[in-house]
Amino acid sequence: MKSVCEDSGGDPCNGCVSCASGWTKILGRCFYLSTTSLNHADAVSDCQARGGKLFEPRNEDINAAVAALAPSGYYWLGITDIVTEGVWLYESDGQPITYSNWFKAEPNNHGGDEGCVHVQPASTNWNDIECYNVYAHVCEGLIYDNP
């Protein structure tokens, strides 16, 4: 898998020095905004093909900063409860989410099949939704010790 950023001195904790063409540096990480509407699985595949993963916000600062980059429409996050209903996991590592920013009364699994998460337009709030819907997506670059 290709690297989308030059890391600083081989220490992935130091973040990116610069990002590949088309990627934007935000808080030491590289992000790619795709306005192409894809279903959740295809958005995951697109990010992997670009050398990243679907954006997984792990704190309020990065959630807000990426929302400022993103379009005013919906976009996918790399968070699902597909494995176990109501247990929200980061897709890249299968760990339970440590931060959330659900919209009021969410997640609600409306209709019984809302296993993916997207961000509400012009906000930083999340909503659970069916994975077959099509939205834009934000890819988060991976940082490697030896890219």
98/79 Cα distance (integer angstroms): 11
Domain ranges of the chain: 37-133
Calculate ∠ Cα 72-77-79, nearest 5°. 155
pLDDT at residue 27 is higher than 80: yes
- Could you give the C-alpha distances from 98 to 4, 37, 51, 94, in angstroms and in order? 25, 27, 24, 12
Specify the fold of 37-133.
Answer: Mannose-Binding Protein A; Chain A (3.10.100)
Structure tokens at 135: 């939205």
Structure tokens at 25: 């540096």
42/40 Cα distance (integer angstroms): 5
Q: What does the pLDDT look like over 44-62, one tens digit per residue?
A: 999 999 999 999 999 999 9
Q: What does the pLDDT look like over 62-116, one tens digit per residue?
A: 999 999 888 678 999 999 999 999 999 999 999 999 999 999 999 999 999 999 9
pTM greater than the 0.75 cutoff:
yes
